[in-house]
Amino acid sequence: MAQHEFKMGGRYRLEISINILNLFNQRVATNYWATESANGKYINFDEPAFYAHQVDVAALKTTTPGWAADPRFMVEGASIAPAPGFQMPRQARLGVKLLF
């Protein structure tokens, strides 16, 4: 934030300012797509076997008919509201203020 103050005489002052967030307009990824399954695609297994550590999820992905991965899986920059995919771009605000 930068501001400059001008003396106007007496107790009056004029202040101009610029307020900038993300000055260098960086675009850093802040989220990613976490769901591996494509929409409507599920793996199937038996729960007791799962809790007994007898289910191989990685194998199920290849053996389940029709199962498909979501092409967005693990891609950074995915926006899933309310979490944004990227850092907010540069924002700026100009200001003028008369103080007494």
Site residues for another protein, window 36-65 (CB under 8 A)?
36-48, 50-55, 57-58, 61, 65
Mark residues 5-24: x for contact with another protein by CB under 8 A, - for none: xxx-----------xxxx--
Output the smallest distance, CB 63 to another protein, in A: 14
Site for another protein in 70-99 (CB under 8 A): 70-86, 88-99
Query: β-strands 2-9, 91-99: how paired?
Result: unpaired
Nearer to another protein, 9 or 65 (CB): 65
CA dihedral 77, 78, 80, 85 (to 10 degrees): 10
Nearer to another protein, 42 or 63 (CB): 42
Residue 98, burial from CB neighbour count under 10 angstroms (0-12, 13-18, 19+): exposed
Of 43, 28, 38, nearest to 72 (Cα)? 38
